[in-house]
Every structure is written in structure tokens, then in C-alpha cells.
A and B are shown apart, each in its own frame.
Chain A
Amino acid sequence: MSNIYRNKKYVLFFLVPAFLFLVVYLYYPFLVNIYGSFRQIKNLGTYGTKWNEPFYDNYVKLVTDPVVWTSLKNTVLMIVATIVGQVGIALLLALLVDNIEKGTQFFRTVYFFPIVISATALGLLFNLIFLYDKGMLNQFLELFGKTTLTDWKGEKLAIFTMMLPVVWQYVGFYFVILETGLNNISQELYESAAIDGATRFQRVIYISIPLLRNVICTCLTLGVTGALKVFDLPWTMFPKGMPLKETFLTGTYMYYQTMEAKNVDYGATLAVLIVVLGVLLSRFTRKVFKESEDF
């Protein structure tokens, strides 16, 4: 370290503002939330009057609450949809774009822009698209001769309808990351493979994908952690877990219990569950992706 930075009287000046925020708005509330999950809190904005009886009551409720299991199941589905849908489609598109010369920038721009738009606005948009009585999709199917209307938001298709826009919105994000990764692969590798007689398909399988492995792993990690944070789109399209509390994710269920059902301490408990889930998942993904890193 350089001489000029030996004088440490300025360290506090630089560090205190940011770390004050971290402590007051993240670390302290995080702990208070765990405390709150053992209390009885009737009104949001209070610390509760007394302890639950027994104090772990909310955690018993957590395990026996069928909606928790539904939301866990949906969250796992969301993770799978993210991996297969978002990263899968993005990888396919990126590999295809790598083969063209004209229009790359256009596709980059067009694919990316749903991310910029608020998920709430997209939720409203998709509400219109999936409308039962003649939204865009049902009218479209009618053009192809389908005579019955499809109930996209009904019990059967609700989960699918909820996840489709989430997947759709983020394909462009992973597309840009993967495409940047592909551009970093040296053209010479492909050329020498071509000289050796490798087909286009073989070049993708034996050069692009292996060299892209780390980037793909980054995308998957981001996708898994991102799937836990999804809130806006599902809440706008399927508020309160409609229909029949079938479409809750862990995040939306936490909001529902806190704000709609006025079960603030139970909401806090669900938040603890989300944290545990997040920690387990990031451990898991890190382990899975580390093992396959030897290249």
C-alpha cells in the first residue's frame, strides 16, 4: 500500500456512511425479523406485545401449512423454468446469433428490452394477452380455427401462465451475457477446427459450449437466486395466489400473510424460510458448478 494511505484518519469518513446503511437497514432488521418470527405481531409497524406460545409456534404452523408446500413446489418449478427456459433459450439464441453477421446489434437490443420495463407493467400487459374472453392469445388461436376458449388463468394452466412471462422477460438478460462470452472465444479455434473437418454442429459441441462453461455456470447461479426474488409479475397477474391459493411463490405468500392476512409474525417466519432456502440453494449451486470446473 502506498505511503499516502498510511494516514488512516480518513478511513472512517469514507466507510461510515455506507456501513451505517448496511447495519441499520440490512443487518439489524435481519436479526429483528428472526426475533419477530417468535412474537405475536398483530399490526405491521409494531414489535408485538408478547411471545408466541409455544415460542416456536409459527414454525410448527410453517411445516403443517399446505400453502407453504404449494409455494415451495411452485418456487422449485420456477427455478427449473428459469434454468431450462431462460438460460436454455438464451443459450440457443446466442449460439444462433454467433452464426450471423448482419443484425446482431438489432437482436441484442430487441431481446434485452423487456428487462428494462417494470414487471408490473408487463403483468398488466400479460393480463390482457391471457384474457379468457378474447385476450390476444385466444383471438390468435381462433384465427387458427380453434373454437373453444382456453382458460389460461384457470386451475389447470395457472402455473404455466404465471411462469411464461417471467421466463420471457429474462431471456434477453442471459442472452447478452452468453453472447458476450461467445464473442470472447478466439475465431482461430473455429477456423482450425473447420480445417480439420469439424462440422458446424461439432464446433458448437466441442468448442463453444465447453469454453462457455464458466459463463453458463454464472448464468445458472444468477437464475437460481433470481428465481427466489420473483415477486412483481406473479403478484400483478395472480394476486393472492389466485386461483385457490395455487399460484403462491414463497415471496408472494410472505407478502400475502404480512399485508393481506395481517399475520405479520407468520410473514416474518416465511421470510426466514426464504433466507434458509436461499442459503441452501446457493451452497448447492456452488458445489454443483465447482465440481465441473476442471478444464
Chain B
Amino acid sequence: MKRNKLGLAVLYIILGAWAATTIYPLFWVLENSFKAKDKILNNSFALPVGDLFTLANYKRAFDRLDILHAYVNSIFISACVTLGVMMLAGLASFALVRFDFKLKKFCHTMVIAAMMFPVFSTIIPVYTMETGWHITNTSSWILNMVSVILPQIAGNISFAIIVLMGYVQSLPLELEEAAHLEGCSIPQIFFRIVVPLGKPSFVTVAIFSFLWSYNDLFTQMFFLRRPEMQAITRLLNELTSKEGTNYGLMASAVTLVIIPVIVVYIFLQKYIIKGMTAGAVKG
């Protein structure tokens, strides 16, 4: 199909303009993180070269904020949530597709309905319940982590079951029957055939759960209130109220949080985009 050059140029300009809105703000915060905090306000568009360049903001960020600790907490929480969701949802989706039992329909409805619960509607009782178990607001690191991991697993599980059910349905039954004839028990069929063959679907679920948990602020605000327990998003939120006017420190903290995510995104973008839109595309 032919088209005129002018029209094509206009297309690229419009598309490029939106791309600029997503790239430039990040570039802007990056360049300003290398400037002294009082220089940002004079001319924030200048590149941080020569006299303007300083690492003071980063030094301050590492001195004042426990960023490394927060990273460890964040990654530990998200990794546990991801593993938990994959395991529990994997098991449940297999049974929901392959077995016939009395309450099958009811169970299926329960999973769908669970997706409708906004986190707001369960958080207060969950907090109360966990307080009863003495795992909130304790000085024990691991218990505090568990207190946020468990509700996050619950929040992701039903979505993961739906995605994985789609996968199990697409798996040819002959394979499992052959394995059965070879003498595999049902758990063996699950762990040796269903799980290994479903790697792409499990990766989808893993990416979704990890990112969701890593970026979630609401649950962390409830469960990680002690400074030494804070994860990344909680730390950033705290920073706004404590040092809201130290723009240099803010810029460096934002950069420190965003850069690792962007690096991971560049390498895994194909899987990440697929993982994040899986629920929508499958309907």
C-alpha cells in the first residue's frame, strides 16, 4: 500500500511525541540527580557536566536511607509471593480442570468471585487476624515479612488460577494417560509433566505476581510500619513526608529505585509485556 511521505512524517511525529512523554521525565530526573539540590531549580534542563556534576545526592541517599536493606526486603517478599502463587495456583488449576467432583462448579465460582474483592475490603480484618497471631508489628524480621507475604499471595492467587487453568485445558490428555500407563502416580504426572511443559504459563504468572507485589504500596503501608522492615515503595513514600523539599535527594532516590527495574525490563520486555497483559488478552 502506498502512502505519501508527509503523512508518514506526521504519524512518526505524533507517535514520537508520546514516546517523549514516557522517556523524557525519566531522563530529566536522572540528570538532575547528579546536581546539587539548589541548582535544580535554576535550570533543570542543563546537562550535569562540569561544575554542575556532583554525587552528593547519592552519598546522602545511601547515608540517610537504608536503600540496600529495603531492596533486600522487597526482593525477598516478592520472591516468596511469586513462589507461593505459582505453587498454590498450579496445584489448584490442575485439579479444577482434570478432576470431576461434586463442588467443582462452586469452587470455580469461588475463584472468579475472589477476583472481585478489592484489597480495601479485606485489609482491616486481615490485619486484626494477623495481630492475633502476633506476626504484625513485631521485632522479628521474618514474621514481619510473612505478615505481608501471606495477604499478597492471597491477592494474586485467583488470577493465577484462571491463567493456569487455560494452560492445563490446552494440554493434550494423551500425554498424561501415557505417563499413567508407564506407572506414574497423579502427583508424579503433575510434577513431571504438567509443570515442566507449562513453563511459559508459569513464567507469565511469575512476572505478574512479582511486579504486582514489588510495586504494591497499600499492603506495605499496613504491615511494614517499622523503619527496619520497610520495603522499597514504603521507603519512598516515607521519604516524601520526611524530606519532601530536598529535591536532589528525591531525584537520586527515584533514580536508584527505577534503574534496576528498567534494566530488567529491557532484557525481559517480551515476557513482561505478555505477563502483564495475559489476563486481559485471554478475556
Contact = CB atoms under 8 A, between A and B. Distances in A.
Interface of A: 1-5, 7-8, 10-11, 13-15, 17-19, 21-22, 24-30, 32-33, 36, 41, 44-47, 89, 93, 96-97, 99-100, 103, 106-121, 123-129, 131, 133-136, 139-140, 143, 168, 171-173, 176-177, 180, 190-191, 194, 200, 218-219, 222, 228-229, 231-232, 235-236, 239, 251, 254-255, 258-259, 264, 267-268, 270-272, 274-275, 278-279, 282
B269 A109 contact: yes
A127 B120 CA distance: 25
A236 B176 contact: no
B122 A29 contact: yes
B128 A125 contact: no
Nearest to A17: B88
5 contacts: A26-B154, A93-B18, A116-B211, A117-B258, A124-B236
B257 A121 contact: yes
Contacts of A171: 18
Contacts of B277: 173, 176-177, 180
Tell me the interface secondary structure of chain B in the complex. helix
A103 B14 CA distance: 13
Interface of A is mostly: helix
Nearest to A268: B124
A235 B245 CA distance: 17
Interface of B: 1, 3, 8, 11-12, 14-15, 18-19, 21-23, 25-26, 28-29, 32, 41-45, 87-89, 91-92, 94-96, 98-101, 107, 110-111, 114, 116-129, 131, 136-137, 150-151, 153-155, 157-158, 161, 173, 176-177, 180, 186-187, 189-190, 211, 214-218, 221-222, 232-233, 236-237, 239-241, 244, 247, 250-251, 253-254, 257-258, 261-262, 265-266, 269, 272-273, 276-277, 280-281, 283
B151 A25 contact: yes
Contacts of B43: 139
Kindly list the 8 A-B residue pairs having the minimum CB-CB distance in the complex, ordered from nearest. Answer: A25-B154, A14-B95, A18-B92, A29-B125, A45-B131, A32-B125, A118-B215, A29-B122
Nearest to B8: A100
A274 B118 contact: yes
Nearest to B88: A18
Contacts of A47: 128
Contacts of A275: 117-118, 121
Contact of A239 (B42, B44, B118, B240): B240
Most chain B CB atoms below 10 A, which of A4, A129, A136, A222? A4
Contacts of B250: 124, 127-128
B118 A121 contact: no
A121 B14 CA distance: 27
A136 B28 contact: yes
Given A25-B126, A30-B117, A116-B262, 5 more contacts: A4-B189, A32-B129, A114-B22, A117-B258, A131-B247
Contacts of A180: 277, 281
A281 B137 CA distance: 36
A14 B11 contact: no
Given A173-B276, A236-B240, A96 B11 contact: yes
Contacts of A251: 118, 120
A116 B123 CA distance: 24
A177 B281 contact: yes
B39 to A, nearest CB: 11
B100 A5 contact: yes
A29 B126 contact: yes
A272 B124 CA distance: 12
Contacts of A232: 215-218, 233
A223 to B, nearest CB: 10
Contacts of A128: 29, 32, 247, 250-251, 254
A265 B32 CA distance: 44
A94 B63 CA distance: 45
Query: Considering residues A24, A103, A124, A275, which has the most beta carbons from chain B within 10 angstroms of its beta carbon?
Result: A124
Contact of B150 (A10, A25, A190): A25
Contacts of A26: 114, 117, 122, 154
B258 A33 contact: no
A20 to B, nearest CB: 9
